[in-house]
Amino acid sequence: METDNSKPLSARQKADIARLEAMPDEAIDTADIPEVTDWSDAVRGPIYNARALRETILASRAKTVRARLPSFDQLLFPTVVALRALGGSANVKELSDKIALDLQLPEEILGFRRPTASMNEVPYRAAWARTYLKRRGYVENTARGVWTLTQLGRDALPADIAQVPRDVRRLSAAGSLDTPKTEAEAEIASEESWKARLLESIGRMSPPAFERLAQRLLRESGFVKVEVTGRSGDQGVDGVGVLRIQLLSFHVLFQCKRYKDTVGASSIRDFRGAMVGRSDKGLFITTGRFTREARGEATRDGAPPIELIDGEDLCDLLKDRRIGVSVETVERVVILADVLAAI
């Protein structure tokens, strides 16, 4: 790290900087770094303090990650390829996961937050990519959020997709197409708004209340004998339930944790360890997001499978089952001028 003072860094300052630079972002905020006030100049005050040091390191990381983010036009053809691999249709989450896997996007890219919104940057840019593809007829979507390749999309070559941004902008400028901005931002704002507000409300719940919410959700999803057992010494198991499917019954342990950021593979391994001798099936519910390594660990060959429900899944489940969420249908009146003209 450079400073605006020509005096070299002290050994303690170098040690503080090295320790912070080795920490993940979430750990930096709570790291114990003593204030340094004994090395300053008369005009600028302390060369650095704990807060400034944290902010400088985080800003430097954010700048580096932002430079590596795929632009929306770089996501156009990967979107088409992902839909082809998924059988021609997918919801947004399936599509996003497939694109991330195909492009081998690392966690720091996938988890990069937009500065003024609750949505991550890659999903935001992917929404723009889908809108541009839709405007040129390569994909279409339904009211339930399922995106489907059209015949044009199934036959498209990389060179065809590369022309999409230019074609959409040219036609929009000529008035042949409405600007894609409104549609893309409407999709983003719709998903971003209610899910962010729902997760914010859940984040204010106490841990026991969140466990009761998970209990209610499982009951509404067909589980019986759902009990919250979370207590100290229970190795992270928050509850147990029985899922009955016709003649079969499955004993399922569940863990529910409110995480703001990502859940890693180690949390999945710890939960699986708590399952040993108690159940062959597990369910992990979080308000955060699972890393790619966590998802791989959950389905690792030879190990009891663990089903994962992240924050987006949780919001969709609560919406579908109307738990803490109501859905209103707004009436829209459309004038059929051609019908009137034909009378």
pLDDT tier for residue 120 given thresholds of 50, 70 and 90:
confident
Please state which of the ranges 22-26, 230-234, 331-335 shows the lowest mean pLDDT: 230-234
CB 315 within 8 A of CB 188: no
**Residue 80 pLDDT greater than 90, yes or no:** yes
Flag whether pLDDT at 293 surpasses 70.
yes
* Per-residue pLDDT band at 116 (split at 50, 70, 90): low
Window from 10-14, 144-148, 207-211, 229-233 with minimum mean pLDDT = 229-233
Q: How confident is the model at residue 327 (pLDDT cuts 50, 70, 90)?
A: confident
Q: What is the mean pLDDT of residues 178-207?
A: 72
Check if the beta carbon of residue 250 is closer than 8 Å to that of residue 242.
Answer: yes
281-286 and 248-257: which strand pairing?
parallel
48 pLDDT exceeds 60? no
pLDDT of residue 341: 84
Cβ-Cβ contacts under 8 Å for 185 (sequence gap 6 or more)? none
Q: Mean of the per-residue pLDDT values for the chain? A: 80
Domain covering 72-201 in this structure, CATH number = 1.10.10
pTM of the model: 0.63
For residue 136, pLDDT over 60 is answered with yes
- Where are the strands (E) in the chain, listed by range? 40-41, 45-46, 89-91, 139-141, 146-149, 223-228, 239-245, 248-257, 262-263, 281-286, 289-290, 306-309
Contact criterion met (CB below 8 Å) for 230 and 253: no
pLDDT of residue 194: 82
Q: Which neighbouring-strand residues pair with 251?
A: 242
Show Cβ contacts of residue 238 under 8 Å, excluding neighbours closer than 6 positions: 211, 214, 228, 229, 230, 254, 255, 256
- What's the CATH architecture for 206-320? 3-Layer(aba) Sandwich (3.40)
Token duo for residue 151 = 């015949």
- Among the listed residues 73, 84, 80, the one whose alpha carbon sits nearest the alpha carbon of residue 137: 80
Give the single-character DSSP code of 112: P
Q: Decide which of 122 and 54 is more confident.
A: 122
The predicted structure's pLDDT at residue 3: 44
d(CA 48, CA 54): 10
Higher-pLDDT residue of 173 and 223 is 223
User: Which tens digits make up the pLDDT trace of 93-109?
Assistant: 889 889 999 999 888 78
pLDDT tens digits, 241-276: 989 887 888 889 999 888 877 888 889 999 998 888
Q: CA-CA distances (angstroms) from residue 205 to 67, 191, 257? A: 37, 22, 11
Domain ranges, ordered by start, for the chain: 11-68, 72-201, 206-320
